[in-house]
A and B are shown apart, each in its own frame.
Chain A
Amino acid sequence: QQQVKQSPQSLIVQKGGISIINCAYENTAFDYFPWYQQFPGKGPALLIAIRPDVSEKKEGRFTISFNKSAKQFSLHIMDSQPGDSATYFCAAGDTGNQFYFGTGTSLTVIP
């Protein structure tokens, strides 16, 4: 059973556009929500993370929006660039040191 559901599976965006990736969870014990970026042949890299007491966190062109009541969170990439083309994973962690990953979104930014 997938603890974190991620959509869409793939996304194509024009350069300069906004990329939006969504994740949903059910377990209310989750208290930390990171996002990772992965390029082909490489391991994931921590991109940005949020705690449930904050509704939004922004770092550069990357923003996490968090809706605690709906148990949903999303990643917004503003002014998307071809260099952002990668696979993005959301994750959710509980106090027991276990982090559950979504199934990934393959983002392609077209020049």
Chain B
Amino acid sequence: NAGVTQTPKFRVLKTGQSMTLLCAQDMNHEYMYWYRQDPGMGLRLIHYSVGEGTTAKGEVPDGYNVSRLKKQNFLLGLESAAPSQTSVYFCASSHGRQPQHFGDGTRLSIL
């Protein structure tokens, strides 16, 4: 039972490049979330989904897009990466509305 798996674990991008972060969960959870964690700021919600085919904006959605085409997967896209998006990104899933199971994060640096 893998829980929540994030791919990749590390990535370095140049400003303006695009990339997609993948989150996969094997617990049949309806709710999935993308957070970013920055020093001294805790975790901030980027986007979330309450079920397959649905997405919604969180606290800091600008510069990001998401898709939930399959229940088990939640993708986070950066169309044109900026240095301000350097962060650790966490995906989470849950049965209920509070994020319950987190992945181990993707460490993203944008030069």
Chain A residues with CB under 8 Å of chain B are: 2, 4, 6, 32, 34, 41-46, 49, 89, 91, 93, 97-104
Contacts and interface: CB of A to CB of B under 8 A. Distances in A.
Interface in B82-111: 90, 92, 97-105
B19 to A, nearest CB: 20
Interface of B: 4, 31, 35, 40-45, 48, 50, 56, 58-59, 90, 92, 97-105
A93 B48 CA distance: 14
A44 B102 contact: yes
Given A89-B43, A102-B42, A97 B31 contact: yes
A101 B99 CA distance: 11
B31 A45 contact: no
Shortest beta-carbon contacts, A-B, top 6: A43-B102, A101-B42, A101-B43, A103-B42, A97-B97, A46-B100
Given A43-B103, A44-B102, A98-B58, A103 B45 contact: no
Given A97-B48, A98-B45, A46 B99 contact: yes
A43 B40 contact: no
B104 A101 contact: no
A100 B98 CA distance: 10
Contacts of B99: 46, 99
A39 to B, nearest CB: 10
A102 B67 CA distance: 27
Contacts of A32: 97-98
B42 A98 contact: no
Given A41-B105, A43-B104, 8 more contacts: A32-B98, A42-B104, A43-B4, A44-B43, A44-B102, A97-B48, A98-B58, A99-B98
A97 to B, nearest CB: 5
Contact of B42 (A34, A45, A89): A89
Contacts of B90: 43-44
